[in-house]
Amino acid sequence: MPSRILQRFLLPASILLILLWGLARLPPSRGPLPDEPVAASGGASPSPSPSPAGAAADDPLPLARNPSPAELSRLLHLKFNRAHVRLDEGLLTFRDAAALQSFLARARAAGVEVLDRIDALNTARVRVNDYAAFARELAASTGDYTAVASNAILPPPTPPVEARSARLSEPVGENLLATLGVRAADPAWGRGVTIAVLDGGVLNDAAFDSRLRQLDVGYGIIGGGTDGAHATSVAALAAGASSDARGVAPSAALLSIRVTGPDGSGDVFSVARGIYAAVDAGAQIINVSLGGYATSQVLADAVDYALSANVAVVAASGNDQAAQLVWPAAYPGVVSVGATDALGKQALFSNSGASLQLTAPGYAIKTVGAGGTRISFSGTSASAPVVSGSIAALLSSNPGLNALQAADLLATYSTDSGPAGPDPDYGRGTVNLDRALRRAAPSSKP
């Protein structure tokens, strides 16, 4: 009898141990990094802000258990010096404007340098020079803070693997408008509409005539090297007007906002800052052809700010052939865009995901390069401005629409690709601009 009882318990226990051993060997998740809330001293942690879909909440700083200054300093150093974040940088969000102003007055004594701030969010971007002093500040003024976050990096877009794509995909080349179903292009498309390009700083080119202006949010206005070339290619696909580089909306105004540093990478604060600046400058459409697998609440709040103003945020889904979208494309309400070839097939490199909204041409499209050149450009970085330009064309043709309504029409009248209905590879469909513009015709019914 004892042996039977022992057998009854040994088998489940052995299975449990094997499962635990297997879980311990799993690699760490490469999930997004959401905002990190601050636990109030002497009480329970407040409920964190809702994390983006798929994000696992980071632990708050353990102020409720009154860590020693040395331990808190160590935790802060770890938080601001891990992979995929700006080293020694923090994003500090305060309960109100008065708390932010009070902090700014004592920032130097708190061991930090204030690099920038977004007053609408009561958020400051800081560089920590003295972790011990900042730990003392945080412990003494916990009630002033609502979040202490890392500044996650949004790296330069990963170039698609062209050699592999070339074997299986059809280049778009000079046939962008035909690929969008356009029978007769209208040179007035985009008139009265401003598209903001948040990227590496658009370079001057004849394709933009006098419609390009730049806005400085801390990185200057003109990109250099590959980041400037990337931004210029993106802008031309949305609104190029020359015969050898025709974008979708050749009469749209372009607002270039540089959000990347010399290495071509951006970060969540700079992109959030750019979104706020674009909305305040009157842009109806914001194109973001960059992104990463880490984020923060400051970026989510910026997206919400744009959406509340009926401004469409159009973002590239990523070029990693991954089953998840990069941020900010992954946020609800963002017009996330994947890539297709000239035949409407999903490009091999294009990221997929349940939140994908649309696909658009993004393989080997002729556009503007650096120094007045004309190049072949691929990636979801190319697909996003095609959608931005298409939204601008709809807006100029339908003055009663706002940008969010135009984006929804573009999706409603897209070509259903893949399985019937929305799917992770094509979203709600592949852009068919002609169908959206002629939606009143019986042949254009969804």
Q: For 177-210, what is each residue's pLDDT tens digit?
A: 999 999 888 999 999 999 999 999 999 999 999 9
Q: Tell me, letter by letter, the H, E, C secondary structure of 115-143.
A: EEEEHHHCEEEEEECCHHHHHHHHHHCHH
The CA distance from 48 to 300, in Å, is: 14
How many other C-beta atoms lie within 10 A of the C-beta of residue 219?
A: 20
DSSP structure class, residue 254:
E
The four Cα atoms 154, 158, 159, 160 give a dihedral, to 10 degrees, of: -130
The CA distance from 419 to 416, in Å, is: 8
pLDDT score, position 156: 76
Helix or strand holding residue 147 (H, E): strand 145-154
Catalytic hit among 73, 381, 388, 390: 381
Q: For 419-444, what is each residue's pLDDT tens digit?
A: 888 999 999 999 999 999 998 655 55
* pLDDT of 1 above 50: no
Catalytic hit among 35, 199, 227, 434: 199
Query: Structure tokens of 62?
Result: 């353990």
pLDDT score, position 167: 62
pLDDT score, position 155: 84
Strand partners, 254: 195, 212
The CA distance from 393 to 30, in Å, is: 38
Whether residue 84 lies in the annotated active site: no
Catalytic hit among 230, 256, 317, 417: 230
Q: For 150-163, what is each residue's pLDDT tens digit?
A: 999 998 777 776 55
Specify the residue for token string 């997206």: 303
What is the rounded average pLDDT of the residues 276-293?
96
* pLDDT of 21 above 70: no
* pLDDT of 15 above 80: no
| Range of weakest confidence among 37-51, 99-113, 133-147, 176-190 | 37-51
Whether residue 186 lies in the annotated active site: no
What is the rounded average pLDDT of the residues 70-76?
92
Q: For 375-396, what is each residue's pLDDT tens digit?
A: 999 999 999 999 999 999 999 9
- Domains in the chain, please, with CATH? 63-152 (3.30.70.80), 162-440 (3.40.50.200)
* pLDDT of 51 above 70: no
Whether residue 73 lies in the annotated active site: no
